[in-house]
Amino acid sequence: MGDEILGEITASEYKYGFTTEIESDTVPPGLNEDVIRLISSKKNEPDWMLEWRLDAFRTWSKMKEPDWPNVHYNKPDFQAISYYSAPKQKKTLDSLEEVDPELLKTFEKLGISLDEQKRLSGVAIDVVVDSVSVATTFKETLAEKGIIFCSMSDAIQEHPELVRKHLGTVVPKQDNFYAALNSAVFTDGSFCYIPKGVHCPMELSTYFRINEAGTGQFERTLLVADSGSFVSYLEGCTAPQRDENQLHAAVVELVAMEDAEIKYSTVQNWYPGDAEGKGGVFNFVTKRGICERKAKISWTQVETGSAVTWKYPSCILKGDHSIGEFYSVAVTNKYQQADTGTKMIHLGKNTKSTIISKGISAGRSHNSYRGLVRVGARAENARNFSQCDSLLMGDQCGAHTFPYIEAQHPTAQIEHEATTSKIGEDQLFYCNQRGIGTEEAIALIVNGYCKEVLNQLPMEFAVEAQKLLEVSLEGSVG
Amino acid sequence: MIKIKDLQAGIEGKDILRGINLEINSGEVHAIMGPNGSGKSTLSSIIAGREDYEISSGSIDFEGEDLMDLSPEDRAHKGIFLSFQYPVEIPGVTVSNFIKTAINESRKGRGEEPMGAREMLAMMREKTALLEMDKSYLSRSLNEGFSGGEKKRNEIFQMAMLQPKLAILDETDSGLDIDALRIVANGVNKLRSKNNAVLVITHYQRLLDYIEPDFVHVLYNGKIVKSGDKSLALELEAKGYDWIKAENV
């Protein structure tokens, strides 16, 4: 029974597999210092930014792609990628009416029509299509509170002092292979600054979308929450269907100053490849936040897409009494591979961290949790609780757990719980007997399993995530 | 309501049912008794549509329709309910969410509109009260951390919510203390009507003190070897299954 239903699902088309025809301004494939100079000049960047990029490029040139993750793929040819692609625009846009109608159609297909968003949900969106921000909404409302929420390109032009002060302070240029590459070639992304004591009145949200065949996407996000401020940030994405692999190497840096709180939620649905495992996005992301005294950073992610995922949203708990949280649902199906988890680095006294990871593997996929809990020599009374659960569907998938624990202080309290379970025939038959078909039963069981994580998401995002889980897993039976 | 003719079935090449004939009409309560391994649970699983069994011959007709080609959920939509001997746990799914899904999926299957939230809530209140369950039950994860008695009570709660035509109670008395047994039986009795039927599967006569059957059948070695009224259950209790075994060597 399982195989039949599994077959049905793998046959279902990727729901967001369409492309938009927009004239793109694309740089020829290849990467060298001239390409970086070109990107920088196209974006009219100041010299310090160009120097920063070149420095990153020089470092990257000497680095090797990491091979320690538990994933297997053909390494991208970095000289075959085009590093810049911007939808052609006549001028700066004052309103949505001026946006390319093709683009607006794309948004509609995705159900994220800006007008709708503007009118109904009260969510400000900085939409990133192929590396260039096309429209930014609610900027004025936010500006009244002194909140800056704009594209990274604009931030470099308009708030160079803030960008220069914080960029690369959490994820240094030389941090890792992909972070270095991103530092050299990032074309856009989002920048956010919440001033002292300000509670951001709305969820800040960014939708990412890869739109140009063969263009890598290198987003750079920098979020700074000044002392005593609060912000909830949402990031979600879906990518159009492609036959060739698309590289996505983003960097996200969060700075939570004293007493500040950042809640960062992601729903990720990049194209996972077809039923044979062909195509699909490579998602090699570096996400990290730093907490000053009494600050809190909470990462929540629902990962259902990508052919290969390599992602560890982490917290450096530098300040005393700071808190780090990581809530994750990672779903892999068909031939998807995910190696994801977190790092909680306890440096300050009385720091606390919580890790709740729910992995779901179906089809022939492999799902790995990799997490590090490190308690430094000065981190008196550091506490961590980790729970890593794996759910298997079918007998051809794999679930792996790689927990690393390093404690250098005798007062550290570290708890790790792990379970592996399978959706059983008994559970399905029980649901069937109550009139619930197998598809709905799986959705019900999976949503129950992920509840602790889904509960962390803002309401409207939770609904979206729940739908996404259902679509990703329709019919995968154990 | 249901007519089972010459049902023969087994699992992994082993014969379990060797020609079952059974007819249950609306308004009737039947009890099937028998020693361990006689095929009681197999029979209830096959009626509910569990696919693990090979059915070599026979037919099951439910309200004039052949059940054999219907999926378990389709059978449920038609009004067949099985109270499980070992109800499964579904972590993170609350009792109320589960029963809401079950009711609305069944309604959808029958081409009906989903039940409104207000009506659903009122019904949940009524049925929890009927089974003397605390309202906090509804927000607990389905069967997770439930005691044996709570699990069985929860099965009958679901039965009360789904209002099936044919309810099969598979060893519902096992794991119940005497108070819980009384409450569960009382719940079942209140749900009895001339339009529905109950098939009680049990090892012991005890439950039949509370749910009085119209007919009692003794299942042994895959066959119904004796049928009678409720006095048969008492006779069985007095003489033990060895009496049946001796007659059927």
pLDDT value at residue A475: 58
Q: Which residues contact B61 (CB under 8 A, 6 or more apart)?
A: B2, B3, B4, B5, B67
Instruction: Say yes or no: A447 contacts chain B, CB-CB below 8 A.
Output: yes
Given a cut of 80, whether residue A145 has pLDDT beyond it is yes
Point out the residue among A433, A447, A452 whose CB comes nearest to the CB of B48: A433
pLDDT value at residue A173: 93
Tell me the nearest-neighbour CA distance from B166 into chain A, angstroms. 13
CB contact under 8 Å between B105 and A436, yes or no, is yes
Query: Residues A152-208: pLDDT tens digits?
Result: 888 999 999 999 999 999 999 999 999 999 999 998 888 999 999 999 988 887 654
Pairing verdict, β B90-94 and B80-83: unpaired
Q: Which of B105, B144, B159 is the best mutation test for A, with the most CBs of A within 10 A?
A: B105
- How far CA A448 is from CA of A309, A444, B50, B98, B154, in Å, comes to 24, 6, 24, 10, 18
Q: What is the mean pLDDT of residues B165-181?
A: 91
- Residues 393-432 in A contacting B (C-alpha not used; CB under 8 Å): 424-427, 429-432
Which class for A288: exposed (0-12), middle (13-18), buried (19 or more C-beta within 10 A)? buried
Q: Which class is B2-247 in CATH?
A: alpha beta
Output A188 or B195, whichever has higher pLDDT.
Answer: B195
User: How many A/B residue pairs have CB atoms within 8 Å?
Assistant: 74
- Token output for A100: 């390319």
Domain residue limits, chain B: 2-247
- Residues in chain B with CB shorter than 8 Å from the CB of A430 are 84, 87-88, 90
pLDDT value at residue A445: 92
Nearest CA in chain A to B159: A434
Query: Residues A263-275: pLDDT tens digits?
Result: 999 888 777 877 7
Query: Residues B71-107: pLDDT tens digits?
Result: 999 999 999 999 999 999 999 999 999 999 999 999 9
Query: Residues A336-354: pLDDT tens digits?
Result: 899 999 999 999 999 999 9
pLDDT value at residue B224: 95
- Token output for A173: 């240029």
Instruction: Say yes or no: A91 contacts chain B, CB-CB below 8 A.
Output: no
Q: What is the mean pLDDT of residues B35-59?
A: 93
- How far CA A252 is from CA of A18, A78, A196, B118, in Å, comes to 27, 21, 21, 45
CB contact under 8 Å between A433 and B81, yes or no, is yes
CA–CA distance, B55 with B68 (Å, rounded to integer): 9
- Residues in chain B with CB shorter than 8 Å from the CB of A448 are 90-93, 141
Given a cut of 80, whether residue A468 has pLDDT beyond it is no
Model confidence at A99, pLDDT cuts 50, 70, 90, reads low
Instruction: Say yes or no: A3 contacts chain B, CB-CB below 8 A.
Output: no
Output A251 or A73, whichever has higher pLDDT.
Answer: A251
Output A399 or A246, whichever has higher pLDDT.
Answer: A399
Point out the residue among A434, A437, A450 whose CB comes nearest to the CB of B158: A434
Q: In chain B, pLDDT over 90 holds for what percent of residues? A: 81
- Token output for B94: 């609350």
Query: Residues B103-158: pLDDT tens digits?
Result: 999 999 999 999 999 999 999 999 999 999 998 999 999 999 999 889 999 999 99
